[in-house]
Amino acid sequence: MQWPKIMNTSRKTGDDDWPASGIWLCLHFAQLPIEVFCRDRKDHPVVVSCRQKIQYMNQSASLIGIKSGNSMDTAYTVTNQIVNFERDEEKEFATLSHLAQWAYQFTPCVSIKAPHSLLLDVSGCLKLFLGLPNLVQEVRSGLARLGYSAAIGISVTPLAALCFAEACFAEAERGIDKNVVDSFDNTIISKVADSLQQVPVNALRIDKKIEESLQQMGIHTVGSLLALPTDGLSRRFGIFFADYLQRLVGEKPDPQKFIGEDPRFHSDITFLSDVTNIQSLAFPVKRLIAELCDFLQVRQLQLNHLVFKLSHRCHPAKQFSIYLANPENDAAMFLMLTQLQLDKINDMPEVDNISLSANSFSQADAHSGDLFHGTSFRQKDGRLHNNSDRDRTSRLLNMFRARLGPQTCFGLSLANDHRPEKAWKTVRLNKKDYWFPEKEDRQNQRPLYLLNKPRFLLSTNGRPNMEGTLDLTLGPERIDFGWWDGNDAARDYYVARQSCGAHYWVYQDMKTREWFLHGIFS
Amino acid sequence: MLRDLSKNQSLQLLLHDTELWRASSIDCDFRQGITTGFPVLDGHLPGAGWPDDGVTELLHDQQGIGELRLLTPALARLSQTQTRWLLWVSPPYIPYPPALLKAGIDLTSILIVNPKTANDTLWVLEKALASKSCSAVLAWPGNINEKQIRRLQVASKEGNTWNILFRPAKAAERASPAELRIQLFPPKTSPSRHTSPSEHTSVDFRILKRRGGWSSEILNVPFEDRLNQITPDFPSLSIATEDISTRSLRDSALFQEIPEFESHDFDVLFEDRELMEIHAMAEDNEHQ
């Protein structure tokens, strides 16, 4: 049966042809050990070695004749351009988990098959992505954006999909490009065995010893393996092998362990050569931010804190954070703020790795579009309000905080205290931080400028003196407050006029009878 | 004769009741400014009020002669009618919230930024002016040259933002690309001690540069603030007791008189506050 037929029948309910167990899509990242280090540069020969033996190499390395198993010395005699990384399996697994989280955008049923594969149950999401060919296309282009390459296998059992993917990679190595979607025409469990006929045995996930003995027996394809009697195979190779074969063809159920949703984001890029100009990090940063924004978008999340880390093997790592005024999911904004932070960095001579991580997220608000875009409307509170105003004001605040530090920008609010120095506070510009008295009863004069610390004034004949005697005009206003918390104030406040016309707010401490300047009526 | 009269009347009608463009009128570009709240000042400014964009310079040497009170009615209006920020860039002292609120300014629209260096100050000013997200930007830029003011002028036109620069009076000697320059003086008719002619204060001003007009003579703006009102029973409070005068003598020996304010006042305060904010932020993160 051809695929388009299934698309048609999918509208009918209870179609017999529809597979009950699901459709499994396997992503096999055969080049993952290489791609964790260099996913942006494909043209440079890169090898990954373990104990000076080359294990993996990229295409340009294999083109110049480097083979797996060569020693590093051999590779260096071939070319001195080669870049070598020590294999890092921990990093491979971390990247695979990250890719699993990425694949979460297609289906919630994602399972990790170590070392280099992911299994996706896509039967539930075919309609959303308009059919399997489209879905595969989306997966492919998404991976290409991330800079990873994967062989794709599709089948109705997870193990068969895995098998197809590995076979597909092996064929691609030999230069055969098969269209996986066209080759997937078996939707009924009973036909899995038929579809596996031509697959070589070395694509199976079985013990190397078993594989060798099968080869010696002259069994090269799965078809000839499956033709053998099952009880004979289990007697010869053990019960696990028979069990594997049964799961492979779908005779036994094969439940998978799906990943949970990981509420964290971490991604990094390693450079093949050291980056000495911090400004040229703009491109990798853009890529990381695009990844982050995809991550946020498919989960409908926003964030207001992200952390970049620049590191180099010879220097201490440098980390910087970006705080936003409001949670956002705006790549352009993240990019601009990161650029501001990068401009400030001047003590990082070289960088060979940049990573971006984010841990705390908040749910995205649903944004409804604006029909009359950019038009101001008068709101109930009498203000002219424009939707883009809100974005712009928070954008400005974000910029200031990114360049000057989060503490240099603040707002002002009243505070519930009678002492003038405590009748106000700075706020971090959250609406909930502001405090206003329930009824305004401020009949007394208050200066527009307040000194942080009252300044001692000399006095002559009991009158304050500042470049000549001050004339006391308005007052006294007695403020006697706070004896209970140790910072008590017992003061008589006056408005004082200087002979040159300036007006000050001065007070006389009632205990010491000293005069202080506290404010300026600017 | 009757016809002449009607002709005259219609001429008057034309002049008064329609928006006829007259070369002699200074607001010939029909700009409508933000009313200053002071009729004297309105009468001398193009557009009968403060401009809503461009750089306005206020030149004065002495703090406290009314440089902010001159602006508060307009700032209050801006904060009430617009949702944009009212940005203060490194003010010399704390703009005191109770007084701002009393002047009618919406505190939630106030944003204060204290850049550490002169370069950062200019960066903040230019970004804020061009961002279209501030209705007015008040700045105490310290040393600033003509080229820099020109950039601010361009940015403020682009962002439709009013920029007010407070500068020392000696800047009046140099030319500036600012659109409006006003010098402030203490009132000439300084009231003699104890006998105040008016209970309100005032400030003298001279417009050095404006669009569509020459510089003006020195004029006086009265404030409705009752600051000069003398409390009637005040003389009874003149408590010149012996111990105070001796103390003041001792103090004068100890503390040399400090004639000028220290401008780092604000910084000291914010170092404490910064710590507090960092703690608050850490707490927030923990909650999350």
Read off φ and ψ for residue A172, nearest 5 degrees. Answer: -60, -35
Chain A residues with CB inside 8 Å of B116's CB? 404, 408
Query: What are the pLDDT digits (tens) for A6-17?
Result: 343 333 333 444
Cβ(A402)–Cβ(A341) below 8 Å? yes
Residue A85, strand partner residues: A48
Residue of B279 and A405 predicted with greater confidence: A405
d(CA B199, CA A140): 80
| pLDDT number for residue A388 | 65
Q: Tell if the CB–CB gap between A389 and B93 is shorter than 8 Å.
A: no
Least confident segment among A174-178, B125-129, B229-233? B229-233
Query: Does A128 have pLDDT greater than 80?
Result: yes
B17: buried, middle or exposed (CB in 10 Å: 19+, 13-18, 0-12)? exposed
| pLDDT number for residue B125 | 92
Distance in Å, alpha carbon of B279 to nearest chain A alpha carbon: 11
| pLDDT number for residue A155 | 85
d(CA A358, CA A334): 12
Q: Tell if the CB–CB gap between A448 and B68 is shorter than 8 Å.
A: yes
Chain B residues with CB inside 8 Å of A305's CB? 285
Nearest to B113 among A408, A500, A501 (CB): A408
| pLDDT number for residue B242 | 37
Chain A residues with CB inside 8 Å of B111's CB? 397, 409-411, 429
| pLDDT number for residue B87 | 93
3-state secondary structure of A68: coil
Query: What are the pLDDT digits (tens) for B199-225?
Result: 678 888 899 988 877 888 888 888 877
Nearest to B96 among A399, A448, A471 (CB): A448
Q: Where are the alpha helices (DSSP H) in A180-330?
A: 180-183, 192-195, 208-216, 222-226, 230-237, 239-249, 282-299
What's the mean per-residue pLDDT of chain A? Answer: 81
Domains recognised in chain A with CATH numbers: 21-35+88-185 (3.30.70.270), 37-87 (3.40.1170.60), 196-252 (1.10.150), 265-363 (3.30.1490.100), 440-520 (no CATH)
Query: What are the pLDDT digits (tens) for B25-52?
Result: 555 455 577 888 888 888 888 878 888 8
Distance in Å, alpha carbon of B189 to nearest chain A alpha carbon: 10
Q: What chain B residue is nearest to A384 in terms of C-alpha separation? A: B82
Nearest to B64 among A396, A474, A503 (CB): A503
Q: How confident is the model at residue B111 (pLDDT cuts 50, 70, 90)?
A: very high
| pLDDT number for residue B52 | 86
Q: What chain B residue is nearest to A360 in terms of C-alpha separation? A: B288
Residues 6+ apart with CB under 8 A from A359: A263, A264, A265, A305
Residue whose C-alpha is closest to residue A505's, from A442, A450, A423, A453: A450
Choose, out of B88, B93, B96, B246, the residue to mutate when testing the contact with A (most A CBs < 10 Å). Answer: B96
Range A117-127 average pLDDT: 88
Long-range pairs, A439-444, Cβ under 8 A, ≥24 = A440/B101, A442/B98, A442/B101, A442/B102, A444/A477
Chain B residues with CB inside 8 Å of A389's CB? 83-84, 133
d(CA B112, CA A258): 50
Query: What are the pLDDT digits (tens) for B255-272?
Result: 334 334 444 444 444 444
Region for residue A461 given its phi and psi (left: phi exceeds 0; alpha: psi -120 to 50; beta: otherwise): left
Q: Tell if the CB–CB gap between A407 and B266 is shorter than 8 Å.
A: no
d(CA B214, CA B207): 8
Least confident segment among A10-19, A136-145, A216-225, B90-99? A10-19
Q: How confident is the model at residue A238 (pLDDT cuts 50, 70, 90)?
A: confident
Taking CA atoms, B285 is separated from A293, A320, A337, B281, B288, in Å, by 22, 16, 20, 6, 5
3-state secondary structure of A304: strand
Query: What are the pLDDT digits (tens) for A335-377?
Result: 888 888 888 887 778 888 889 998 888 887 766 666 666 566 6
Residue B97 touches partner A, C-beta closer than 8 Å: yes
d(CA A2, CA A408): 65
d(CA B209, CA A353): 56
Query: Does A510 have pLDDT greater than 60?
Result: yes
Residue whose C-alpha is closest to residue B111's, from A379, A397, A30: A397
Taking CA atoms, A118 is separated from A27, A32, A114, B9, B270, in Å, by 5, 12, 8, 91, 53
Range A375-380 average pLDDT: 63
Query: Does A225 have pLDDT greater than 50?
Result: yes
d(CA A292, CA A310): 17
Taking CA atoms, B198 is separated from A294, B224, B226, in Å, by 68, 10, 8
Q: How confident is the model at residue A146 (pLDDT cuts 50, 70, 90)?
A: confident
Chain A 267-326, residues with CB within 8 Å of chain B CB atoms: 305
d(CA A237, CA A163): 19
Cα A378 to the center of its chain, rounded Å: 38
Residue B35 touches partner A, C-beta closer than 8 Å: no
Region for residue B64 given its phi and psi (left: phi exceeds 0; alpha: psi -120 to 50; beta: otherwise): left
Q: How confident is the model at residue B164 (pLDDT cuts 50, 70, 90)?
A: very high
Query: Does A515 have pLDDT greater than 80?
Result: yes
Cβ(B87)–Cβ(B138) below 8 Å? yes
| pLDDT number for residue A118 | 92
Q: Peptide bond preceding A115: is omega within 30 degrees of 0, i.e. cis?
A: yes
Least confident segment among A100-104, A448-452, A480-484, B2-6? B2-6
Cβ(A336)–Cβ(A312) below 8 Å? no
Helix or strand (DSSP H, E) at A519: strand A515-520
Nearest to A452 among B64, B120, B268 (CB): B268
| pLDDT number for residue A379 | 63
The secondary structure of residue A221, as a DSSP letter, is B
| pLDDT number for residue B181 | 92
Q: Tell if the CB–CB gap between B244 and A396 is shorter than 8 Å.
A: no
The domain ranges of chain B are 27-186+196-222
Chain A 328-387, residues with CB within 8 Å of chain B CB atoms: 360, 382-386
d(CA A133, CA A296): 25
d(CA B245, CA B240): 7
Full DSSP string of A148-204:
---EEEEESSHHHHHHHHHHHHHHHHTT----HHHH----SGGGHHHHTTTSBGGGS
CATH architecture of B27-186+196-222: 3-Layer(aba) Sandwich (3.40)
Q: Tell if the CB–CB gap between B113 and A392 is shorter than 8 Å.
A: no
Residue whose C-alpha is closest to residue A519's, from A469, A464, A447, A438: A447
Query: What are the pLDDT digits (tens) for A310-332?
Result: 888 888 888 888 888 778 888 88
B77, two tokens: 């209006």
Chain A 413-472, residues with CB within 8 Å of chain B CB atoms: 413-414, 420, 423-424, 426, 428-429, 431, 434, 436, 440, 442, 445-453, 455-456, 458-463, 465, 467, 471-472
Chain B residues with CB inside 8 Å of A407's CB? 270, 273-274, 277-278
**Complex ipTM:** 0.71
Q: What chain B residue is nearest to A426 in terms of C-alpha separation? A: B273
Q: Tell if the CB–CB gap between A385 and B83 is shorter than 8 Å.
A: yes
Cβ(A338)–Cβ(A355) below 8 Å? no
